[in-house]
Structure 1
Amino acid sequence: MDHRSVSGEGRIGSERMSMSRKEGTRSRPTGNLDIIRRFTWEISSINIYLEELRQVWARTLGISGPQWMILMAISDLDKDDGIPVNAVSKLLHVDPSFVTTQSKLLEKNGLLRRRPSPTDARVVRLSLTEKTQKHLASLNEQYKTIKEFVFQEFDEHELTEFTAKLATLKTRLEKACVRVTLDL
């Protein structure tokens, strides 16, 4: 039995049914797959734009986007005594061997230093060279302008709360990935 014969309204009735069904699902907070899908696509799009910015800034040094991320991780984490390779790999969610390989290339280009840890020679500590620090300082004004433009809608409190919620989502997604992996 087709929908038109039941409703007597033909195509118009199915459109009305579709509209009311959509409106009804909007009221469900997390059960609404449409908003969850939209959220997922928005996050994916944000990542694409962030990657585009990374590529632009990486090109200013003649390096790749992932190499740029290694430099940014070192810049953020280093407290003047270098940062271990495994700390960089954890922050970037990549294998330590990738960071090791890429850091050797960055060292060859004079962008970072690799030194054994004074307490454990098996641990390699990474730090930025003066050349890289100066280059990052030269980009600081552009970065500041972009940061102010992108985050102008948030005050510090709102941004802190939003970031905390994103961190919670990241943790839950990490656990979901483990679950899915174990189920396969």
Structure 2
Amino acid sequence: MAFHEHRPEQSVHGSDVVSATRKEGARLRSVGNLDIIRRFTWEISSINMYLEELRQFWAKTLGISGPQWLILMAISDLDKDDGIPVNMVSKLLHVDPSFVTTQSKLLEKKGLLRRRPSPTDARVVRLSLADKTQKHIASLNEQYKTIREFVFEEFDEDELTEFTGKLATLKTRLQKACVRISIDY
């Protein structure tokens, strides 16, 4: 399945095209007038919304929620054949471990992942994807690759590495800012 950029004029007709184009132009002008930090914040929020929309689409293919899809993706990315602890998933997703525990139990009931005690510490639960989930994710790889290439086509590997590093720094600073604010309140 090829990925094509959605344009408002593709889904509307006649004078609606002009109206949709004007609305988009007006939105861009108003966003352009914001100071750079506020604009950056809104752009990041918008990116998150589009990522959420993609997660919802892929989650729907398995009949699960977007957050459950994220749990499966975290396991897929982190698991090196022996499962990963619940706390590693919760740290990556920045959620409470109890949320991952609850959701992983639901995913286990659907046959999408396995939960088993760690061989070294029975208190630790290790998560791994079920075979059918691995196959399902593999079946989406071509579509994911096409989207990834489209989205990141303007970045070479060095630029993307640098940009990702700067985003990681920003995330760390935002985390520290949240701690500071929580102390004040």
* Global fold match (TM > 0.5): yes
Alignment of 1:50-89 (within 5 A): 50-89=51-90
Task: Give the Cα separation in 2 of the matches to 1:137 and 1:172.
Answer: 35
Q: Give the TM-score normalised by structure 2.
A: 0.82
Task: Give the Cα separation in 2 of the matches to 1:119 and 1:73.
Answer: 22
Task: Give the Cα separation in 1 of the matches to 2:40 and 2:102.
Answer: 35
Unaligned stretches of 5+ residues in structure 2: 1-33
Task: Give the Cα separation in 2 of the matches to 1:179 and 1:101.
Answer: 30
Instruction: Report the equivalent of 1:9.
Output: none
Instruction: Report the equivalent of 2:158.
Output: 157
1:166 CA displacement: 0.1
1:147 CA displacement: 0.1
Instruction: Report the equivalent of 2:129.
Output: 128
Task: Give the Cα separation in 2 of the matches to 1:62 and 1:88.
Answer: 21
- For residues 21-68 of structure 1, what are the alpha-carbon distances to aligned partners after superposition, in whole Å with 9 as ceiling and x for unaligned? xxxxxxxxxxxx700000000000000000000000000000000000
Task: Give the Cα separation in 2 of the matches to 1:110 and 1:140.
Answer: 21
- For residues 83-132 of structure 1, what are the alpha-carbon distances to aligned partners after superposition, in whole Å with 9 as ceiling and x for unaligned? 00000000000000000000000000000000000000000000000000
Task: Give the Cα separation in 1 of the matches to 2:135 and 2:150.
Answer: 24
Q: RMSD over aligned Cα, in angstroms? A: 0.6
Unaligned stretches of 5+ residues in structure 1: 1-32
SS of equivalent residue, structure 1 residue 126: strand
Answering whether residue 43 of structure 2 is matched by residue 42 of structure 1, we say yes
Task: Give the Cα separation in 1 of the matches to 2:91 and 2:156.
Answer: 29
**Rg larger in structure:** 1
Query: Percent identity among equivalent residues?
Result: 88
1:72 CA displacement: 0.2
Count matched residues: 152
1:136 CA displacement: 0.2
SS of equivalent residue, structure 1 residue 164: helix
1:156 CA displacement: 0.1
Q: Give the TM-score normalised by structure 1.
A: 0.82
Task: Give the Cα separation in 2 of the matches to 1:50 and 1:88.
Answer: 19
Alignment of 1:90-129 (within 5 A): 90-129=91-130
Indicate the structure whose relative CO is greater, using CA pairs within 8 Å and at least 6 residues apart. Answer: 2
1:143 CA displacement: 0.0
Task: Give the Cα separation in 2 of the matches to 1:178 and 1:86.
Answer: 20
Instruction: Report the equivalent of 1:147.
Output: 148
Instruction: Report the equivalent of 1:25.
Output: none
